[in-house]
Amino acid sequence: MATVTYDHASRIYPGTERPAVDQLNLHVEDGEFLVLVGPSGCGKSTSLRMLAGLEDVNAGRILIGDRDVTDVQPKDRDIAMVFQNYALYPHMSVADNMGFALKIAGKPKAEIRSRVEEAAKILDLTEYLDRKPKALSGGQRQRVAMGRAIVRQPQVFLMDEPLSNLDAKLRVQTRTQIASLQRRLGVTTVYVTHDQTEALTMGDRIAVLKDGLLQQVGTPREMYDSPKNVFVAGFIGSPAMNLGTFTVTNGVAEIGKARIPLSREAAAGLTAEDKGKVTLGFRPEALDIVSETDPAALEVQVNIVEELGSDAFVYGTLKGDLGGADLSSAGAGDHEVIVRINPRTAPAKGERIYVSIRQGQEHVFSPSTGLRLSSQ
């Protein structure tokens, strides 16, 4: 097994000025499951392909263990890749697909069969070894692609959105299988996805990219509780965090009638460029239903109630005098907020409810830089 290190690695495609991946510095520990996540075009797949040797590194370098592999051919990097589209040979059996790379490498037939059977047992594919890919379900084909990677016994697994072609239920089931399988094998894994729910549930750590730049690296809990900037705050979490820019007077943010006192640290971090404003973020679960007479109450008109069985989320519009506040949640529209509520007492569409932000559960950011101001 091995570590993976991106050392100021950049990729600039011919004919473009802005790097697809810009000065990426990232270290993956031996045996770690790291998830690269971000919106389309953020550079996550390019970063993975640079590690695989499928894209050139225009600046910086990439190391696997202590070995600089920046200019090493893909076949000599001791990595195995699992693709989004399975990439199975339709005319070969499952066993032949899984063992093909070993056959090309000239391994003895007995060793190939042994490794294939071992991987098939791990992946619950033993009874399908003689079938062709067309006789398998999507989830089974993805497990065959995983098996092909496992039999090679590489130093690093690379997975490029391997669950994108599966239906929702199978995706949840398969992501659990992949995460538990990686922990059992202990192979260093770099996994690319645009689905932040996948990232939160699978990764030991998450690396968030935007426009080719690394935004933040941390455990799922760190990313959720302490996002480094407004982009990460809005991207990580489902439903998304409510985000808005509000006026600050004497160290207090004004949201309608509500007054949110800023910590000394956050207030001191505001600069002239912020123009007396502050960006506040608050998760849907950080809002409490209160009475209309509560001095911190915010009036919300219910637009939609999303019922999920154990949870319910209200998508509503903030009413009343907001004093020119700019509230644009990453998960809702203008002046909309998302509130997590008890599904047994969910309001009806068109009703008015009153909510308040739970003390100490707001996230404070600079409007001019987007960077976090509070350490909590």
Domains and CATH numbers, the chain: 4-232 (3.40.50.300), 239-365 (2.40.50.140)
- pLDDT (0 to 100) of residue 298: 87
Kindly tell me if the per-residue pLDDT of 333 is higher than 60. no
Mean pLDDT of the chain: 90
Q: Are 95 and 116 in contact (CB under 8 A)?
A: yes
Q: Tell me, yes or no, if the pTM score tops 0.85.
A: yes
Residue type at 309? G
Task: Report the C-alpha gap between 159 and 189 in whole angstroms.
Answer: 8
User: What residues form DSSP beta bridges with 80?
Assistant: 157
142, containing H or E segment: helix 138-151
Whether omega before 239 lies within 30 degrees of 0, making that bond cis, reads yes
Q: What percentage of the chain reaches a pLDDT higher than 70?
A: 95
What phi and psi, each to the nearest 5 degrees, are found at residue 151? Answer: -65, -20
pLDDT tens digits, 27-62: 999 999 999 999 999 999 999 999 999 999 999 999
Among 20-34, 218-232, 284-298, 322-336, where is mean pLDDT lowest? Answer: 322-336
pLDDT at 138: 86
pLDDT of residue 69: 96
H or E segment and range at residue 196: helix 196-202
What tokens were used for 73?
């051919």
pLDDT of 324: 57
High-pLDDT (> 90) share of the chain, % = 63
Please, are residues 192 and 36 in contact by the beta-carbon 8 Å criterion?
A: yes
Report the phi/psi class of residue 265: left, alpha or beta, with left for phi > 0 and alpha for psi in -120 to 50: alpha
Q: Could you tell me the two tokens for 82? A: 């699992």
- Alpha carbon distance 147, 111 (integer Å): 15
pLDDT at site 376: 58
pLDDT above 80 for 194 = yes
The pLDDT value recorded for residue 172 is 86
Residues 256 and 112: their CA atoms lie apart, in Å, by: 69
pLDDT per residue as tens digits for the range 97-127: 999 989 998 999 999 999 999 999 988 899 9
Decide if pLDDT at 7 tops 80.
Answer: yes
Whether 272 and 318 have beta carbons less than 8 Å apart is answered as no
Region of 370 (left: φ > 0; alpha: ψ -120 to 50; beta: rest) is: left
Q: Give 213's pLDDT tier (boundaries 50, 70, 90).
A: very high
